[in-house]
Amino acid sequence: MKVSDIVKQVREYLDEVDALNAASVLNGSAPVDDRIKAMIPECAVAVGEGKEMPSTDVEVLENGVVTMSIPADFGRLYELKMACWKRSVYEAISHDTPQYRRQQNLVTRGGTVRPVVALVPYGESRRLELYSVPVGDERAGLVERAMYVPVPTIKDGDTEINVSAEKAPVLCYMIAVRVARSYGNEKAVALLSSTLNEQIAVTSII
* Span 92-119, pLDDT tens digits: 999 999 999 999 999 999 999 999 999 9
Contact 173, 163 (CB under 8 A): no
The answer, yes or no, to whether residue 31 has pLDDT greater than 60, is yes
pTM, 2 dp: 0.81
Detail the DSSP E strand segments found in 31-174.
Answer: 51-52, 58-60, 66-69, 74-82, 93-94, 116-122, 125-131, 143-150
Q: Which residues contact 160 (CB under 8 A, 6 or more apart)?
A: 1, 2
User: What is the mean predicted confidence (pLDDT) over 180-186?
Assistant: 90
**Angle (CA) 51 88 146, round 5°:** 30
The answer, yes or no, to whether residue 26 has pLDDT greater than 70, is no
